[in-house]
C-alpha cells in the first residue's frame, strides 16, 4: 500500500493561497457591488438632504438610547426618579458630553 506524504509546508501554502484568493474575491465583489449600488446611494443621499433627516438610530429600545443627541437628563427615569434602568442599552451608551457639563 502506497501512502502519499504531503509536506506541512505544502498544506500551509495551499491554505494561505486559498485565503489570499478569498480576500481578493471579497474585495472584487465589494467594488462590483458599489458600482451597482451607486445610483441607489445617490438617490438616498438626495432624500436625506431633502427631508433633513438626522443620523441613524443606534438602538431601538427607548427614545433616549436611539440617538445620544435626543436625550435629556431625566429621560431614563421617566417613571420615577429612583427607578432602575429599563433597557440594557443604557449601560452601553455613556451620557452625552453636553449633559456632563
Q: What is the pLDDT of residue 23?
A: 97
Q: Is the pLDDT of residue 75 over 60?
A: no
**pLDDT of the residue at 51:** 80
Residue 78 has pLDDT above 70, yes or no: no
Extents of the domains making up the chain:
1-53, 63-100
CB-neighbour burial class of residue 64 (10 A; exposed 0-12, middle 13-18, buried 19+): buried
Split at pLDDT 50, 70, 90, the class of 96 is low
Please give the pLDDT value at position 3.
79
pLDDT tens digits, one per residue of 7-58:
999 999 999 999 999 999 999 999 999 888 889 889 988 988 888 776 666 6
Amino acid at each position: 500500500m502506497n501512502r502519499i506524504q504531503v509536506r506541512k509546508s505544502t498544506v500551509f501554502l495551499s491554505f494561505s493561497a486559498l485565503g489570499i484568493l478569498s480576500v481578493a474575491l471579497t474585495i472584487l465583489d465589494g467594488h462590483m457591488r458599489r458600482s451597482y449600488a451607486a445610483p441607489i446611494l445617490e438617490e438616498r443621499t438626495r432624500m436625506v438632504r431633502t427631508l433633513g433627516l438626522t443620523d441613524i438610530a443606534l438602538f431601538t429600545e427607548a427614545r433616549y438610547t436611539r440617538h445620544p443627541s435626543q436625550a435629556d437628563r431625566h429621560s431614563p427615569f421617566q417613571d420615577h426618579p429612583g427607578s432602575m434602568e429599563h433597557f440594557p442599552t443604557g449601560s452601553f451608551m455613556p451620557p452625552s458630553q453636553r449633559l456632563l457639563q
